[in-house]
Amino acid sequence: MDQATATATVLAGIERTRPWQEALYRDLHANPELSHQEERTAAQVAEKLTELGYAVHTGIGGTGVVGLLRNGDGPTVLLRADIDALPVQEQTGLDYASTVEATDPEGNRVPVMHACGHDVHITCLLGAAALLAADRTAWQGTVVVLFQPAEEVGDGAKGMVEDGLADLVGTVDVALGQHVLAFPAGQVATRPGPTLSASDSMRITVYGRGSHGSMPQFGVDPVVLAAMIVVRLQTVVSREVAPTDPAVLTVGSIQGGSKSNVIGDRAVLQLNLRSYQPETREALIAAVRRIVVAECQASGSPREPDIGVFGSFPVTENDPAATGRVRDAFDAEFGEASVDLALQSASEDFSDIPAALGAPYSYWGIGGVDPAAYAQAQAAGTLARDVPSNHSPFFAPVVQPTLDTGTRALVTAALAWLADG
């Protein structure tokens, strides 16, 4: 069976999966779980995969779930979805909006929301798993469906790898993944090469010498020191990185002092770096270290600063050949709705999985915004204001055609290998 016929045959069952997919999506959205706490979500995934006839493995890397469906000789295709949510207070007004609260790793009670669309990813992958299981005459090989925890904190993929993922799935010919984004629903968008940025967060503690606010001459003010660091850091991207090499440096947090008339003894800065090239990543981190140390010396800081890197994500660099194969399949299935994906400054840990498995990979975007609303905002020049992006408390992908598109995309991409020839 040729690829186009196989795709049409498998996708013919989507009307049967659509009702339970939509119900499941609303349930997942209303019941989000923080990173490393995805117990309920993982149980639902495992139950559905078992029902579909997959060999199910749970508890991989904590709450990760892997399903395997072997269907004769042929390639092994890995399809991945992330399953965790964010500490965000939902403000969408949906009748299935989350009111969930949970305890975060620091012991704080926080609201929880699927503000990044991982509920879409779970639902689409389960739908694709169901369609591939329902018609095994159209393809040959092995399907691996992987539901990964803790993407938002950047260690979920590594956790699954370290927990023996390679031994479980064996040789993988290609790894495929997708993300719902703030562009028109119904579209699928691909990009070869660097696609999502690498990300590194840094926590910096600078030290001063405490004093009364009325007697600054006896102290070393860490707040002033932190302020000088922030100002100087603005020159890193603008003066040390080539304009043709995208990079971002954001200081997201400064904490220092306790009272208006007290000079404290330390200040803590947290910042985030985004880059696409390894040498740029190294240069950014080195520049931050250089500037922080130099400013501490210039201010007469009584001790060396503490500088740490945490929350690192790898660059997502799509394999050109694999992505070309996916794009050809998408062009055939979606026509003009198969579009180019712009370079994304967000980050993902998906690539840690194919890197560990030695497999090429492709990662694409699907739209989640009502097409009419998007077109109206675009015409008015108000996209930034009127179209909420991922991580916004207002982020709410339209149920359809988002779910159908994501499901079709996963099936279509998988069959580019499983039904090849």
* CA nearest neighbour of 204 among 178, 239, 232, 243: 232
User: Mean pLDDT throughout 334-349?
Assistant: 97
Q: Which amino acid is at 298?
A: A
Q: Residues 352-374, buried b or exposed e (16+ Cβ, 10 A)?
A: bbbebbebbbbbbbbbbbbbeeb
**Domains of the chain listed by start with CATH number:** 3-194+316-418 (3.40.630.10), 198-313 (3.30.70.360)
Task: Judge whether 188 and 364 are in contact, CB under 8 Å.
Answer: yes
Pairing relationship of beta strands 76-82 and 101-103 according to DSSP bridges: unpaired
As a whole number, the mean pLDDT across the chain is 97
Q: Is the pLDDT of residue 371 over 60?
A: yes
Q: Is the pLDDT of residue 135 over 90?
A: yes
Beta pairing partners, 111: 101
Over residues 48-92, the pLDDT tens digits come to 999 999 999 999 999 999 999 999 999 999 999 999 999 999 999
Q: What is the pLDDT of residue 343?
A: 96
Query: How many Cα neighbours within 13 Å face the side chain of 154?
Result: 15
Over residues 267-277, the pLDDT tens digits come to 999 999 999 99
116 is in an annotated binding site: yes
The reply to whether omega before 360 is within 30° of 0 (cis) is no
* CA nearest neighbour of 367 among 186, 114, 178, 195: 186
Task: Judge whether 109 and 99 are in contact, CB under 8 Å.
Answer: no
User: Mean pLDDT throughout 174-191?
Assistant: 98
Q: Which percentage of the chain shows pLDDT scores above 70?
A: 100
Q: Which amino acid is at 218?
A: F
Q: Is the pLDDT of residue 4 over 70?
A: yes
pTM score: 0.94
Q: What is the pLDDT of residue 420?
A: 73
Q: What is the pLDDT of residue 1?
A: 78
Identify the H or E element spanning 284.
helix 278-298
Query: What phi and psi, each to the nearest 5 degrees, are found at residue 336?
Result: -70, -15
Task: Judge whether 239 and 291 are in contact, CB under 8 Å.
Answer: no
User: Mean pLDDT throughout 225-239?
Assistant: 98
Over residues 119-131, the pLDDT tens digits come to 999 999 999 999 9
Q: What is the pLDDT of residue 102?
A: 98
CA of residue 403 relative to chain centroid, distance: 18
Give the CA diameter of the chain.
Answer: 83
Query: How many Cα neighbours within 13 Å face the side chain of 421?
Result: 7
Q: Is the pLDDT of residue 421 over 70?
A: no
333 is in an annotated binding site: no
Q: What span, in angstroms and rounded, lies between the C-alpha atoms of 185 and 271? A: 33
Q: Which percentage of the chain shows pLDDT scores above 90?
A: 99
- Listed in sequence order, the residues at least 6 apart from 113 whose beta carbon sits closer than 8 Å to its beta carbon are 32, 85, 86, 88, 89, 90, 98, 100, 393
Query: What phi and psi, each to the nearest 5 degrees, are found at residue 44?
Result: -65, -45
Q: What is the pLDDT of residue 296?
A: 98
Over residues 91-121, the pLDDT tens digits come to 999 999 999 999 999 999 999 999 999 999 9
Q: How many residues does the chain have?
A: 421
152 is in an annotated binding site: yes
Q: What is the pLDDT of residue 186?
A: 98
Taking CA atoms, 336 is separated from 12, 364, 403, in Å, by 21, 16, 18
Q: What is the DSSP string of 313-325?
A: E--EEE-HHHHHH
Q: What is the DSSP string of 224-244?
A: HHHHHHHHHHHHHHHHHS-TT
Report helix angle 320-334 to 402-418, nearest 10: 120
Question: Counting beta carbons within 10 angstroms of the beta carbon of residue 289, is it exposed (0 to 12), middle (13 to 18) or buried (19 or more)?
Answer: middle
* CA nearest neighbour of 76 among 162, 178, 175, 161: 175
Q: What span, in angstroms and rounded, lies between the C-alpha atoms of 62 and 76? A: 24
118 is in an annotated binding site: yes
